[in-house]
Amino acid sequence: MTRRGQSMVLHAVLIAGGLLTLFPLLWMLSASFMSNGESTTFPPHLVPHAATLAQYRALFLRLNIGRAFLSSTIVAATVTVCSVLFGSMAGYAFAKLRFRGREKSFGFLLTAIIVPPQVGMLPLFLLMKTLHLVNTYWGVIIPSMVTVFGIFLIRQFMLSVPQELLEAARIDGAGEFRIYWSVVMPLARPILATLATFMFMSTWNDFMWPLIILSNQSHHTLPVALANLLGEHVLDVELMMSGSVVTVLPVLIVFLILQRYYIAGLMVGSVKG
């Protein structure tokens, strides 16, 4: 086969694969603009014959999905800010401050990575119940406020910050917090962006723990609200598709803007083993 022929076959396969990959998402988007029943007609409509916002109107006006959108935003934003702050503090201490038992305690912390989160969920629920945090945003937020992955990610980055920089600041009389905040943190911006992107997306997409801790509809995050909606509206395909779009679109947009940072985090995660 000629080089030109090879290139054509290669790109044909790549484009076919791309269309296949995007199809479910494109169909979701398209069906969300259809009127009731249009997505199940035969022969099927791939694009709406008369695009309508009726599903989104029902979703926001009648079914109050805006409430779940707000809940998801509050939870994901709080988790992101807290996990970046606490993770960077701990990661900095493990990388740059000298204290006894540093390597041992860090090694112990890393064992947490092999424990599946489900193992702690039953007692965690009982703990939250004791603390009266069931059906509150804090019940979802607190367990994700610090992740071992985040500490690990930041520590690996901070190891490369030159020690002389810190010593120079110390000689200039800067306090430990000041060194962390005004010397180290500005240098760490890329890795902070990575962790922030990671935490925002994983919290937004999280399902099992919010499902357990938020039994009251008023606090449901989008994935929980969507799963709930499916119970009552399983026949309203177009409505469910608009709900799916509302759930997926924010993370897809965040990913498209910040994918450089997200993929960097993924690579660190994959070489840690």
Residues 33-72 that bind other proteins (CB under 8 A): 39-40, 42-44
By CB under 8 A, which span of 51-59, 63-71, 88-96, 186-194 interacts with other proteins? 88-96
Give 124: exposed, middle or buried? Use CB within 10 Å, 0-12, 13-18, 19+: middle
Distance between CA 253 and CA 249 in Å, rounded?
A: 6
- The candidate with the shortest Cα–Cα distance to 73, out of 208, 195, 212, 221, is 221
The answer to the question of residue 180 lying near other proteins (CB under 8 A) is yes
The answer to the question of residue 201 lying near other proteins (CB under 8 A) is yes
Which of residues 3 and 62 has its CB atom nearest to other proteins in the complex? 3
Position 105, amino acid: S
Give 144: exposed, middle or buried? Use CB within 10 Å, 0-12, 13-18, 19+: buried
Q: Which of 49, 104, 123, 186 binds other proteins (CB under 8 A)?
A: 123
Site for other proteins in 148-167 (CB under 8 A): 148, 151
Question: Quick one: tokens of 179?
Answer: 């060194």
By CB under 8 A, which span of 47-55, 62-70, 106-114, 188-196 interacts with other proteins? 106-114
Site for other proteins in 214-273 (CB under 8 A): 222-224, 226-227, 230, 237, 240-241, 243-244, 247-248, 251-252, 255-256, 259, 262-263, 266-267, 270, 273
Residues in the chain: 273
Question: Quick one: tokens of 111?
Answer: 């064992």
Q: How far is the CB of 263 from other proteins (least distance, A)?
A: 6
